[in-house]
Structure 1
Amino acid sequence: MRLLVTGATGKVGRALVDRLQGTCEIRALCHNRSLDVDGVESVFGSIADRDAVRQAMAGVTHVVHLATCKETPDEIMDVAVKGLFWLLEEARESPAFERFVLIGGDAAVGHFVYKHPVPVTETQRHTAYEGCYALSKVLEEVMLEQYQIAYGLNSTCLRAPWIMDRDDFRYSLSFGTDQFGGPPWRELVDGDVPEGAVPLALDADGHPLKRNFVHVSDLVEAIAIALEHPAALGQTFNICMDEPVDYQQVADHLASTRGLPAVKVPTPHHSTWLDNAKAKLLLGWKPKYDTERLIDEAWDYQRSPDDPRIVWYPG
């Protein structure tokens, strides 16, 4: 296998390279940041540049497409549409090519912005919310699907919710300026917040919010399986924890194990349950992380002086 990884310098990309290093030839398409890993070839250029993509795709048998943008309208179409288009064009024209794996997101099916009264399966229609990021995830999935239909391209989409690593989850629950991602808890409450407090997020109906997550190691294992598993051909899979994180459970666990207070935070969002049964049935994949493990590892993680917390984008 000769594997091209886009977005290889990001959270998932680095973990994937570490997981697969020594098992196959790995090439990384790098743009703003470099990947200094022994045995991994780097090609530098913009994913929106067809010549750079052609160089990166030369002789490649498999692609894992991780490169993405958040709410950056000036860049997102170049990455999500043009970049993916060039990758798919090179893949379909290459006699050596075998499989394309796209890492999608639950933003393509509305995340927690819209009400989902039943578990969200892979048959849920695309429902982008306001902004350009969710739209980009819809466009990616549709483009991949159409290449499957028009050209018979061997491909798979792994649809992931918010991806956690190390102490990410702890900082996602911060009321301070070091908060990772959203909602912006401090802006949603009045008055002072007790020291060390965590948000007990409430959904639009006033009940504890349930939100979907996946740990990076579980996602990486799903990618490793999907690269060659015959049942992954032409399929989309939800890759997530067995149950969504319940913010009431989070508050209760942190109160009992670490004595942390919780503050109720009303939000306009809706509880959702992303269903991962298809991936478990067809791929034999199972997540190892549940809510308590996600919490405990995030709070137990100790950073060394040479391991600063760097957030490349807020979420």
Structure 2
Amino acid sequence: MKVLITGGAGFIGSRLALRLVEKGHDVTVLDSLLEQVHGADPEQSEGYRAIAEKTAFIRGSVTDRATMERALDGQEVVVHLAAETGTGQSMYQIERYSDVNIGGTSLMLDILANGDHAVKRVVVASSRSIYGEGRYRAPDGSYVYPEHRAEADMQAGDFEVKQPGVDGTLELVATDEDSKIHPSSVYGITKQVQEQLVMTVCPSIGIEGVAFRYQNVFGPGQSLSNPYTGILSIFSNLMMQGKPINIFEDGEESRDFVFVDDVVEATVLGVEHPAAANEVFNVGTGVPVSVMTVARTLSRLLEADVPIEVSGNFRLGDIRHNYADMAKISDRLGFAPQFDFERGIARLADWAKASGPQESAYQKSLDEMRERKLLK
């Protein structure tokens, strides 16, 4: 098929493009080659160099109508990955995140709704961030979906979630696709709207929509310089520079870390599998891993003897826990992740050591958040 990947020179997109080419598809990549993601010389970035000669490449923004019309021409499937990413940054670059994530998706659908095209399916990269806090079981056996944690509680060192009217400890359980959607960041809001736009508009105009709620994706090729890319690459880069690691909250906050190759295989199913049509799927491992475990594992694998300090700092908009219920994607598409956390992080560490540390704006990103009173 003819497949357009927006954001196709990025961390996930470049690997997806190569996998689809390998499977015989004709792939076009649209990417703005944003400096924050690809560096000051983006045409030398790993993602761009990987796909430059194997796909039809268009440099441009998903917010530009002429560019989008050109990119969509003749395509049969669109995989819409292009988005501004970064929970913390989204809380103060609100217009930028809304313009690209919501505006770009709206523009794409507007073109499809009002013109001739060959598109049969749109696959959109949604996110676990749309859930906000994950799903919990109350002492009476009912499921609850806690709201944002109170700043006053976190200032006092109490980072656990609470549910008004519920006495006793809440038990963390896997978050399924029917769980409450209540994002706690601007980024999460934009991903929710992206997903809902695709899943609402596409069926109304005769296009199949597919949404993948990716958990925390990691692996080789993830930018070491982008301070908003994820803690595994951030921690790796800091450790290789011999810098201490500041663990926010108490280090017990957890995420579902899913290896990039598994995300690619799930997304290929979204492109090809008939049963994916008009469905929403979690993509993760179904296993929560604490931030402290991440730091200690990386320190061991990178042989980095650096201080790992639990500071009690916290960011407004962050959640405590979330991990995916994987039953639906397993049952409907036959998908199961092939990489557990230990195997995946070993691959990341080997790649990071070979790539070497890179200059990063991580400290600058923290300073910006402190100035805006979003980092406490």
- For Structure 1 versus Structure 2, the TM-score category normalised by the shorter chain is 0.7 to 0.9
Root mean square deviation of aligned Cα: 3.4
Identity rate, percent: 25
When the two structures are superposed, what TM-score results if normalisation uses the length of structure 1? 0.79
**Cα offsets for 1:26-78 (capped at 9, x unmatched):** 11123245645224112233211222111110110000101101323242222
Q: Which residue of the other structure, out of 266, 269, 279, is the alignment partner of 1:225?
A: 269
Question: Using a 3 Å threshold, how does the CA distance of structure 1 residues 265 and 232 change in structure 2: closer, same or farther?
Answer: farther
Query: Does 1:60 find its partner at 2:75?
Result: yes
Counterpart amino acid of residue 160 in structure 1: Y
Q: Which residue of the other structure, out of 110, 113, 127, is the alignment partner of 2:132?
A: 110
Query: Does 1:156 find its partner at 2:210?
Result: yes
Q: Which residue of the other structure, out of 92, 116, 134, is the alignment partner of 2:188?
A: 134
When the two structures are superposed, what TM-score results if normalisation uses the length of structure 2? 0.67
1:301 is displaced (CA, Å) by: 2.8
Alignment of 1:1-315 (within 5 A): 1-22=1-22, 23-32=24-33, 35=48, 37-70=52-85, 71=90, 72-92=93-113, 93-110=115-132, 115=161, 117-130=172-185, 132-166=186-220, 170-173=232-235, 176=238, 208-247=252-291, 249-250=293-294, 263-264=309-310, 266=312, 269-304=319-354, 309=358
State the distance in 1 between where 2:260 and 2:203 align.
30
Stretches of structure 2 lacking an aligned partner (at least 5 in a row) = 34-41, 135-147, 150-160, 162-169, 223-230, 366-376
1:250 is displaced (CA, Å) by: 4.5
State the distance in 2 between where 1:76 and 1:259 align.
35
Q: Report if the CA contact (8 A) 2:238-2:244 is conserved.
A: no
Stretches of structure 1 lacking an aligned partner (at least 5 in a row) = 180-194
Question: SS state of the match for residue 78, structure 1?
Answer: helix
Counterpart amino acid of residue 108 in structure 1: I
Question: Using a 3 Å threshold, how does the CA distance of structure 1 residues 165 and 311 change in structure 2: closer, same or farther?
Answer: farther
Deviates more, 1:22-31 or 1:224-233: 22-31
State the distance in 1 between where 2:267 and 2:361 align.
22
Higher helix fraction (1 or 2): 2
Q: Report if the CA contact (8 A) 1:243-1:273 is conserved.
A: yes
**Cα offsets for 1:189-218 (capped at 9, x unmatched):** xxxxxx787677666xxx833212211111
1:240 is displaced (CA, Å) by: 0.7
2:166 is matched with none
